[in-house]
Amino acid sequence: MIYEDFQNIKIDRMVKAVIGMNREKFDSLAPYFSTAYRMTQEEQYQNNEIKRIPTGGRQGVFTSHEERLFFVLFYLKTYPTFDVLGFHFGLTAGHAHDYLKLFTQVLNRALYDMDMLPEQEIESPEDIRQLLDKYNDIIIDGVESRRARPQDEEHQKACYSGKKKCHTVKLLVISDHQRKLLFVSPLFDGSVHDYTMMTSLFDPALPWFDNLTVRLDLGFLGAEKDYGISSNILLPHKKPRKSKKNPCPELTDAQKKENRMLAKTRIIVEHAIGGMKHFYCLAHRIRNRSISLINLFFSLPAGLWNMKIS
Protein backbone atom coordinates (compact mmCIF):
# COMPACT_ATOMS: atom_id res chain seq x y z
CA MET A 1 0.00 0.00 0.00
CA ILE A 2 1.14 3.56 -0.66
CA TYR A 3 1.27 4.34 3.08
CA GLU A 4 3.88 1.60 3.59
CA ASP A 5 6.04 3.18 0.89
CA PHE A 6 5.58 6.55 2.60
CA GLN A 7 6.81 5.14 5.92
CA ASN A 8 10.04 4.06 4.23
CA ILE A 9 10.85 7.53 2.88
CA LYS A 10 13.96 8.88 4.61
CA ILE A 11 14.33 12.20 2.77
CA ASP A 12 12.35 15.03 4.38
CA ARG A 13 11.99 16.86 1.06
CA MET A 14 10.12 13.88 -0.40
CA VAL A 15 7.87 13.68 2.67
CA LYS A 16 6.91 17.33 2.18
CA ALA A 17 6.30 16.72 -1.53
CA VAL A 18 3.84 13.92 -0.71
CA ILE A 19 1.88 15.36 2.25
CA GLY A 20 2.87 19.04 2.46
CA MET A 21 4.66 18.85 5.83
CA ASN A 22 7.67 17.15 7.39
CA ARG A 23 7.44 13.94 9.39
CA GLU A 24 7.81 15.72 12.73
CA LYS A 25 4.70 17.82 12.07
CA PHE A 26 2.86 14.74 10.81
CA ASP A 27 3.66 12.85 14.03
CA SER A 28 2.54 15.79 16.18
CA LEU A 29 -0.77 16.08 14.27
CA ALA A 30 -1.58 12.34 14.37
CA PRO A 31 -2.69 12.16 18.08
CA TYR A 32 -5.10 15.08 17.60
CA PHE A 33 -6.45 13.46 14.45
CA SER A 34 -6.95 10.18 16.34
CA THR A 35 -8.90 11.91 19.13
CA ALA A 36 -10.98 13.88 16.63
CA TYR A 37 -11.79 10.67 14.72
CA ARG A 38 -13.09 8.93 17.87
CA MET A 39 -15.20 11.97 18.78
CA THR A 40 -16.63 12.06 15.26
CA GLN A 41 -17.55 8.38 15.49
CA GLU A 42 -19.31 8.96 18.81
CA GLU A 43 -21.33 11.80 17.30
CA GLN A 44 -22.24 9.66 14.30
CA TYR A 45 -23.43 6.90 16.65
CA GLN A 46 -25.53 9.31 18.71
CA ASN A 47 -27.08 10.71 15.51
CA ASN A 48 -27.85 7.16 14.26
CA GLU A 49 -25.55 7.66 11.26
CA ILE A 50 -23.70 4.43 12.16
CA LYS A 51 -25.10 1.40 14.00
CA ARG A 52 -22.17 0.91 16.37
CA ILE A 53 -18.70 2.19 17.18
CA PRO A 54 -16.14 -0.33 15.86
CA THR A 55 -14.10 -1.90 18.66
CA GLY A 56 -12.44 -4.83 16.89
CA GLY A 57 -13.01 -7.49 14.30
CA ARG A 58 -12.06 -7.39 10.67
CA GLN A 59 -9.89 -4.45 9.64
CA GLY A 60 -11.01 -2.22 6.79
CA VAL A 61 -8.87 -0.51 4.18
CA PHE A 62 -7.36 1.79 6.80
CA THR A 63 -5.83 0.04 9.80
CA SER A 64 -4.61 3.09 11.75
CA HIS A 65 -5.37 6.74 12.28
CA GLU A 66 -1.99 7.60 10.78
CA GLU A 67 -3.11 5.99 7.49
CA ARG A 68 -6.33 8.01 7.55
CA LEU A 69 -4.40 11.21 8.18
CA PHE A 70 -1.97 10.33 5.39
CA PHE A 71 -4.92 9.72 3.03
CA VAL A 72 -6.41 13.21 3.48
CA LEU A 73 -3.05 15.03 3.46
CA PHE A 74 -1.97 13.16 0.32
CA TYR A 75 -5.19 14.29 -1.40
CA LEU A 76 -4.87 17.94 -0.35
CA LYS A 77 -1.21 18.09 -1.37
CA THR A 78 -1.31 16.26 -4.70
CA TYR A 79 -5.04 16.72 -5.59
CA PRO A 80 -5.59 13.61 -7.73
CA THR A 81 -8.98 12.66 -9.18
CA PHE A 82 -11.05 10.25 -7.08
CA ASP A 83 -10.32 7.48 -9.59
CA VAL A 84 -6.57 7.96 -9.12
CA LEU A 85 -6.94 8.37 -5.35
CA GLY A 86 -8.92 5.13 -5.17
CA PHE A 87 -6.34 3.35 -7.33
CA HIS A 88 -3.55 4.29 -4.89
CA PHE A 89 -5.48 3.12 -1.82
CA GLY A 90 -7.37 0.12 -3.21
CA LEU A 91 -10.77 1.86 -3.27
CA THR A 92 -13.45 2.68 -5.79
CA ALA A 93 -13.83 6.34 -6.73
CA GLY A 94 -17.08 6.53 -4.76
CA HIS A 95 -15.54 5.10 -1.59
CA ALA A 96 -12.53 7.41 -1.98
CA HIS A 97 -14.94 10.38 -2.08
CA ASP A 98 -16.84 9.17 0.99
CA TYR A 99 -13.68 8.64 3.00
CA LEU A 100 -12.34 12.05 1.99
CA LYS A 101 -15.59 13.73 3.02
CA LEU A 102 -15.29 12.15 6.48
CA PHE A 103 -11.55 12.62 6.98
CA THR A 104 -11.57 16.31 5.98
CA GLN A 105 -14.12 16.94 8.75
CA VAL A 106 -11.94 15.01 11.19
CA LEU A 107 -8.84 16.98 10.16
CA ASN A 108 -10.79 20.22 10.54
CA ARG A 109 -11.70 19.25 14.11
CA ALA A 110 -8.12 18.21 14.90
CA LEU A 111 -6.71 21.55 13.71
CA TYR A 112 -9.39 23.35 15.70
CA ASP A 113 -8.38 21.44 18.84
CA MET A 114 -4.77 22.49 18.18
CA ASP A 115 -5.91 26.14 17.88
CA MET A 116 -4.45 26.36 14.38
CA LEU A 117 -7.59 27.05 12.33
CA PRO A 118 -8.23 30.67 11.33
CA GLU A 119 -11.60 32.18 12.19
CA GLN A 120 -14.21 31.92 9.45
CA GLU A 121 -17.10 33.93 10.85
CA ILE A 122 -16.96 37.43 12.32
CA GLU A 123 -20.39 38.85 13.11
CA SER A 124 -19.62 42.01 15.11
CA PRO A 125 -16.80 44.46 15.88
CA GLU A 126 -16.55 42.81 19.30
CA ASP A 127 -15.71 39.50 17.60
CA ILE A 128 -12.87 41.05 15.64
CA ARG A 129 -11.56 42.84 18.73
CA GLN A 130 -11.36 39.49 20.53
CA LEU A 131 -9.68 37.89 17.51
CA LEU A 132 -7.13 40.69 17.14
CA ASP A 133 -6.65 41.31 20.86
CA LYS A 134 -2.90 40.64 20.62
CA TYR A 135 -2.39 42.58 17.38
CA ASN A 136 -2.48 46.26 16.47
CA ASP A 137 -1.14 45.91 12.93
CA ILE A 138 -2.80 43.54 10.42
CA ILE A 139 -2.73 42.86 6.69
CA ILE A 140 -5.83 42.10 4.58
CA ASP A 141 -5.70 40.62 1.09
CA GLY A 142 -7.83 38.70 -1.37
CA VAL A 143 -7.19 35.11 -2.47
CA GLU A 144 -8.39 33.78 -5.83
CA SER A 145 -8.32 30.21 -7.16
CA ARG A 146 -9.51 28.78 -10.44
CA ARG A 147 -12.55 26.52 -10.40
CA ALA A 148 -14.48 24.36 -12.85
CA ARG A 149 -16.89 26.30 -15.04
CA PRO A 150 -20.38 26.12 -13.50
CA GLN A 151 -23.04 24.56 -15.70
CA ASP A 152 -25.70 27.13 -14.79
CA GLU A 153 -25.42 30.14 -17.12
CA GLU A 154 -26.10 32.79 -14.46
CA HIS A 155 -23.72 31.16 -12.00
CA GLN A 156 -20.93 30.90 -14.57
CA LYS A 157 -21.28 34.62 -15.34
CA ALA A 158 -21.00 35.41 -11.62
CA CYS A 159 -17.92 33.19 -11.28
CA TYR A 160 -16.09 34.60 -14.30
CA SER A 161 -13.11 36.72 -13.28
CA GLY A 162 -12.21 39.37 -15.83
CA LYS A 163 -8.85 39.76 -14.12
CA LYS A 164 -7.90 36.07 -14.42
CA LYS A 165 -9.86 35.43 -17.64
CA CYS A 166 -11.34 32.24 -16.15
CA HIS A 167 -13.88 31.08 -13.59
CA THR A 168 -12.72 31.50 -10.00
CA VAL A 169 -13.70 31.61 -6.35
CA LYS A 170 -12.42 34.34 -4.04
CA LEU A 171 -12.19 35.18 -0.36
CA LEU A 172 -10.46 37.55 2.05
CA VAL A 173 -7.73 36.65 4.52
CA ILE A 174 -6.30 38.55 7.50
CA SER A 175 -2.70 37.94 8.48
CA ASP A 176 -0.44 39.19 11.26
CA HIS A 177 3.21 40.12 10.79
CA GLN A 178 4.35 36.63 11.79
CA ARG A 179 2.63 35.19 8.67
CA LYS A 180 -0.12 33.58 10.74
CA LEU A 181 -3.54 33.52 9.05
CA LEU A 182 -6.07 34.87 11.57
CA PHE A 183 -9.20 34.94 9.41
CA VAL A 184 -10.40 33.23 6.23
CA SER A 185 -13.72 34.53 4.93
CA PRO A 186 -16.57 32.56 3.32
CA LEU A 187 -16.39 32.11 -0.45
CA PHE A 188 -17.34 34.72 -3.04
CA ASP A 189 -17.85 34.41 -6.78
CA GLY A 190 -14.87 35.33 -8.96
CA SER A 191 -16.51 38.48 -10.38
CA VAL A 192 -16.74 40.12 -6.94
CA HIS A 193 -14.18 42.89 -6.36
CA ASP A 194 -11.84 42.72 -3.35
CA TYR A 195 -13.21 45.90 -1.79
CA THR A 196 -16.79 44.71 -2.34
CA MET A 197 -15.93 41.57 -0.35
CA MET A 198 -14.52 43.73 2.43
CA THR A 199 -17.57 46.02 2.66
CA SER A 200 -19.98 43.06 2.59
CA LEU A 201 -18.11 41.35 5.42
CA PHE A 202 -17.35 44.49 7.43
CA ASP A 203 -20.08 47.13 7.26
CA PRO A 204 -18.25 50.51 7.02
CA ALA A 205 -20.85 52.03 9.35
CA LEU A 206 -19.47 49.96 12.25
CA PRO A 207 -16.10 50.44 14.03
CA TRP A 208 -14.45 47.21 12.91
CA PHE A 209 -10.82 48.32 13.02
CA ASP A 210 -10.75 50.71 15.97
CA ASN A 211 -7.17 51.64 16.94
CA LEU A 212 -5.72 49.21 14.39
CA THR A 213 -3.28 49.72 11.54
CA VAL A 214 -4.64 47.95 8.45
CA ARG A 215 -2.35 47.46 5.44
CA LEU A 216 -4.08 47.05 2.07
CA ASP A 217 -3.27 47.09 -1.65
CA LEU A 218 -4.84 49.08 -4.48
CA GLY A 219 -7.69 46.57 -4.73
CA PHE A 220 -9.15 48.28 -1.65
CA LEU A 221 -9.24 51.88 -2.85
CA GLY A 222 -11.78 53.85 -0.84
CA ALA A 223 -11.11 52.03 2.42
CA GLU A 224 -9.25 55.01 3.90
CA LYS A 225 -12.43 57.10 3.56
CA ASP A 226 -14.88 54.45 4.76
CA TYR A 227 -12.86 52.85 7.58
CA GLY A 228 -10.18 55.42 8.40
CA ILE A 229 -12.10 57.47 10.97
CA SER A 230 -10.88 55.56 14.03
CA SER A 231 -8.20 53.37 12.45
CA ASN A 232 -5.05 53.79 10.40
CA ILE A 233 -5.67 52.51 6.85
CA LEU A 234 -2.47 52.28 4.79
CA LEU A 235 -2.83 52.12 1.00
CA PRO A 236 -0.16 52.54 -1.70
CA HIS A 237 -0.21 55.68 -3.79
CA LYS A 238 -1.89 55.22 -7.15
CA LYS A 239 -0.19 56.57 -10.24
CA PRO A 240 -2.16 59.58 -11.61
CA ARG A 241 -4.09 59.24 -14.85
CA LYS A 242 -2.60 60.52 -18.06
CA SER A 243 -4.25 63.75 -19.25
CA LYS A 244 -3.54 66.80 -21.39
CA LYS A 245 -2.45 68.72 -18.32
CA ASN A 246 -0.36 65.78 -17.10
CA PRO A 247 0.87 63.87 -20.18
CA CYS A 248 3.60 62.00 -18.27
CA PRO A 249 2.11 61.10 -14.89
CA GLU A 250 4.63 59.92 -12.31
CA LEU A 251 4.68 59.39 -8.56
CA THR A 252 7.02 61.55 -6.55
CA ASP A 253 10.16 60.05 -5.04
CA ALA A 254 8.57 60.27 -1.58
CA GLN A 255 5.45 58.42 -2.78
CA LYS A 256 7.56 55.71 -4.43
CA LYS A 257 9.51 55.27 -1.18
CA GLU A 258 6.28 54.96 0.82
CA ASN A 259 4.97 52.37 -1.66
CA ARG A 260 8.16 50.33 -1.32
CA MET A 261 7.93 50.42 2.48
CA LEU A 262 4.30 49.27 2.39
CA ALA A 263 5.16 46.51 -0.11
CA LYS A 264 7.92 45.23 2.19
CA THR A 265 5.41 44.71 5.00
CA ARG A 266 2.56 43.46 2.80
CA ILE A 267 4.73 40.73 1.27
CA ILE A 268 4.14 38.81 4.50
CA VAL A 269 0.53 38.05 3.61
CA GLU A 270 1.64 36.97 0.12
CA HIS A 271 3.97 34.44 1.77
CA ALA A 272 1.06 33.16 3.88
CA ILE A 273 -1.17 32.81 0.80
CA GLY A 274 1.68 31.06 -0.99
CA GLY A 275 1.91 28.68 1.97
CA MET A 276 -1.79 27.84 1.54
CA LYS A 277 -1.30 27.22 -2.18
CA HIS A 278 1.55 24.86 -1.42
CA PHE A 279 -1.36 22.39 -1.35
CA TYR A 280 -2.40 21.66 -4.92
CA CYS A 281 -6.12 21.59 -4.07
CA LEU A 282 -5.78 25.41 -4.28
CA ALA A 283 -2.93 25.77 -6.77
CA HIS A 284 -4.68 23.69 -9.45
CA ARG A 285 -8.13 24.29 -10.91
CA ILE A 286 -10.72 23.19 -8.33
CA ARG A 287 -12.72 20.37 -9.91
CA ASN A 288 -15.06 19.73 -6.95
CA ARG A 289 -18.49 21.36 -6.98
CA SER A 290 -19.44 20.93 -3.30
CA ILE A 291 -19.29 24.38 -1.66
CA SER A 292 -18.68 22.88 1.79
CA LEU A 293 -15.70 20.91 0.45
CA ILE A 294 -14.30 23.94 -1.41
CA ASN A 295 -14.53 25.92 1.85
CA LEU A 296 -12.43 23.22 3.50
CA PHE A 297 -9.93 23.49 0.65
CA PHE A 298 -9.16 26.99 1.93
CA SER A 299 -9.52 26.58 5.70
CA LEU A 300 -7.54 23.32 6.01
CA PRO A 301 -4.44 24.53 4.10
CA ALA A 302 -4.62 27.75 6.15
CA GLY A 303 -4.66 25.73 9.38
CA LEU A 304 -1.86 23.47 8.15
CA TRP A 305 0.18 26.55 7.21
CA ASN A 306 -0.34 27.99 10.72
CA MET A 307 0.79 24.67 12.13
CA LYS A 308 3.87 24.67 9.90
CA ILE A 309 5.07 28.08 11.14
CA SER A 310 4.04 27.55 14.78
Strand partners, 133: none
Q: Pick the closest to residue 30 from 4, 68, 79 (CA basis).
A: 68
- Which pLDDT does position 51 carry in this prediction? 78
Distance CA 143, CA 298 (A): 9
Strand, helix or coil at 82?
helix
Fill in the DSSP letter of residue 235. -
Q: Are 2 and 87 in contact (CB under 8 A)?
A: no
Question: CA nearest 238: which of 264, 212, 210, 219?
Answer: 219
Whether the CB-CB separation of 233 and 223 falls below 8 Å is answered with: yes
Average pLDDT per run of 10 along the chain, which is 310 residues long? 90 94 95 94 83 71 92 97 95 95 96 94 86 86 94 92 92 94 94 94 89 91 85 88 81 92 93 94 93 94 95
* 240/247 Cα distance (integer angstroms): 10
